[in-house]
């Protein structure tokens, strides 16, 4: 009965009460089947999943009543309209494995209580208006092995080194978050389970060199995007299994390693850097357009039109 009351209270907080028309007392005897977006455990009948994504729901207060669904495993509210903070008592959902409030105009800070939700395997907060820093305690989510996506928010500060403790994580997306400082050396620890497939730190204010530990991800990493930062350094490293690599619009120096020509890669972009030397004329590196190498003043070789490199004053 308390789950029924919690769901009806959630509907009561919607600005448009005509939405979720199947959620009625008259229809409550079979809510697991007839209520839109509600999925229950086949044995106990308790609610384990709410899939309310892209229903254009609008709320005038945050649905705190959903915190009273103790066995909820999946909560998808993507597209929910309401400029509100996320409730601090969300940690009461101790069985929650997937949390998807993306594109909900959520505001305020990411509550540190998220770090107490040890069952989480997916956390997707992209396209919100969160501010302040990324909580270090997120690194305590040891079961987070699918995705951590905080992209397109208004977060500030450095990337917490504690995120390197998420050794089972498959996808990490911190793009468009206003993050600054160096890339933590600890991100290289993510190679321990060979699970990291995609790392996106693009469109931030990150500086310093790509850390050596970064390239220990080579066993698994397929998608790397650190474009549009202030990164420096003299080596691109060797990331053997990459399918997508965008290092453009930084201040990287040095040469393009010949070993990169063996990559079976679909996108390669190192434009708008300070690279020098000759582009290796073997393998896939010869198949990319000139725009992939453009605006590197000391770089030469096909597909660039320049035949000879200009002298590099640093050599």
Q: What is the pLDDT of residues 253-291, one digit of tens each?
A: 999 988 888 888 899 999 999 999 999 988 888 899 999
pTM of the model: 0.91
**Among candidate residues 143, 99, 144, the one with its CA nearest the CA of residue 125:** 99
**Where does the pLDDT of residue 51 fall: very low under 50, low under 70, confident under 90, or very high at 90 and above?**
very high
Considering only CA atoms, which of 146, 142, 103, 139 is closest in space to residue 123?
146
Domain ranges of the chain: 2-300
Q: Can you give the pLDDT at residue 67?
A: 87
Q: 104 pLDDT band (50/70/90 cuts)?
A: confident
Fold of 2-300: 3.80.10
Q: Which of 199, 180, 144, 187 is nearest to 163 (CA)?
A: 187
Q: Contact, 281 vs 302, CB < 8 A?
A: yes
Inter-residue contact 246 to 227 (CB < 8 Å): yes
Do residues 220 and 167 touch, judged by C-beta distance below 8 A?
Answer: no
Res. 191 pLDDT band, cuts 50 70 90: low
Closest to 279 (Cα-Cα) out of 253, 297, 261 = 261
Look-up of token digits 């907060």: 125
- Mean of all residue pLDDT scores within the chain: 87
Name the band, by pLDDT with cuts 50, 70 and 90, for residue 315: very low
């Amino acid at each position: 009965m308390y789950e029924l009351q919690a769901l009806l209270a959630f509907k009561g907080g919607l600005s448009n009460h005509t939405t979720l028309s199947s959620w009625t007392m008259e229809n409550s005897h079979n809510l697991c089947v007839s209520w839109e977006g509600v999925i229950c455990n086949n044995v106990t009948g308790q609610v384990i999943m709410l899939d309310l994504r892209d229903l254009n729901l609008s709320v005038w207060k945050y649905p705190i009543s959903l915190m009273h669904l103790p066995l909820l495993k999946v909560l998808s509210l993507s597209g929910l309209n309401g400029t509100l903070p996320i409730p601090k008592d969300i940690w009461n959902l101790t069985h929650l494995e997937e949390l998807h409030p993306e594109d909900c105009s959520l505001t305020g800070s990411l509550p540190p209580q998220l770090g107490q939700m040890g069952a989480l395997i997916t956390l997707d907060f992209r396209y919100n208006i969160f501010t302040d820093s990324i909580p270090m305690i997120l690194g305590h989510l040891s079961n987070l092995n699918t995705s951590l996506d905080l992209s397109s928010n208004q977060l500030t500060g450095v990337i917490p080194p504690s995120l390197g403790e998420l050794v089972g994580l498959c996808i990490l997306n911190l793009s468009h978050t206003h993050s600054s400082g160096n890339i933590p050396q600890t991100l290289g620890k993510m190679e321990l389970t060979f699970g990291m497939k995609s790392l996106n730190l693009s469109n931030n204010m990150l500086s310093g060199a790509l850390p050596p530990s970064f390239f220990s991800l080579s066993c698994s990493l397929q998608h790397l995007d650190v474009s549009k930062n202030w990164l420096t350094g003299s080596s691109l490293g060797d990331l053997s299994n990459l399918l997508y690599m965008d290092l453009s619009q930084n201040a990287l120096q040095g040469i393009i390693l010949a070993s990169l020509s063996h990559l079976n890669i679909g996108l390669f972009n190192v434009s708008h850097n300070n690279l020098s030397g000759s582009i290796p004329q073997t393998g896939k590196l010869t198949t990319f357009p000139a725009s992939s190498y453009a605006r590197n003043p000391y770089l030469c070789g096909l597909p660039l039109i320049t035949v000879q490199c200009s002298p590099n004053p640093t050599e």
